[in-house]
Amino acid sequence: MDQSEPDKGPLIGDLTGAGKVINSEVAKRIYDDALSPSMRELGSLSEDFLKTIHLIAAPFQIGAVLQVRLVSFCERISNMVPKERQRDAPPEIAKPVIEAIAFIRDDSPLMTMFEELMSRAIDVNEADELSPEFPAIIQSLSPLQAKLITSLAAEDHFTDIIQDRNTGIVYRQLGSNYQPEDYHGYPHHLTLVQNLATKSIVTILFRDIAEEYPDTTVPEGTHLRRMSVRLSRFGLWFATSCTERQAPTTQSHGFASDGIPQSGEFG
């Protein structure tokens, strides 16, 4: 062997049989340095786990800062997709995800979204259904917005309000089908919703509900309304791709949880 040639580290094929180089230095550090103590005691990683690293990282040169995070990330998604369905992740999905996970806590709802997105990106049944916009959208969200989208994927949110007829100002909230404290109160929930509407992720609809509050007196110039928040068609696509897979329910996203037809009103 030519002694002048630098050590390129192990081939991924040496570890998994895939026969491709990830990134010479990254592969070497992942295998030699970045493993948890318990895995070092075992002396090796499973073939399936190393293959997952290859599927995600193969197209890229990854900086040292990301290596430990990448190993942890791959540990969490390695069992999310059956081995026979795994494929290389589309680079337009994988690259921004890899760059983002270095700066997000493992317990953040945003990390969960990235994990769900990446699990679909390496799934032959789902990878082609993803939009390259999704990683950037996740990065633009706050943790509470990620939590809100996940909740909306299961059920529309509605809030019963007393609202000024002319200005739209909300004078009072009468009730809701969600816990407002989960979103730091009604006003902040509305702020989160309004921002998601600008991203075309949710649609906000209103209807009069005076008949449901016959004993409630409202100030002159106001009326009782139900504000329904639901995922738009784009938002449903995004949520389906980036939130935890849910069992089918009887609820259709063609109707709100209070039975109001959408009437074609999507964001």
Residue-number span of the structural domain to which 159 is assigned: 143-233
As a whole number, the mean pLDDT across the chain is 76
Query: Do 130 and 156 reside in the same domain of the chain?
Result: no
In this predicted structure, what is the pLDDT of residue 236?
A: 97
Are residues 232 and 156 in contact, defined by beta-carbon separation less than 8 angstroms? no
Q: Is residue 4 part of a domain?
A: no
Shared domain for 85 and 134, answered yes or no, is: yes
CA distance 164 to 230: 23
Residues 164 and 135 in one domain: no
Write the pLDDT tens digit of every residue in 69-91.
777 787 778 778 888 888 888 88
Note the pLDDT tens digit of each residue in 166-187: 998 998 999 999 999 999 999 9
Element (H, E) at 117: helix 109-121
User: Does residue 76 sit in the same domain as residue 107?
Assistant: yes
Total of domains in the chain: 2
Residues 23 and 126 in one domain: yes
For residues 70 and 26, state if they share a domain: yes
Q: What is the pLDDT of residue 51?
A: 60
Does residue 266 lie in a domain region? no
Q: 121, 140, 159: which is the final residue of a domain?
A: 140
pLDDT given at position 147: 97
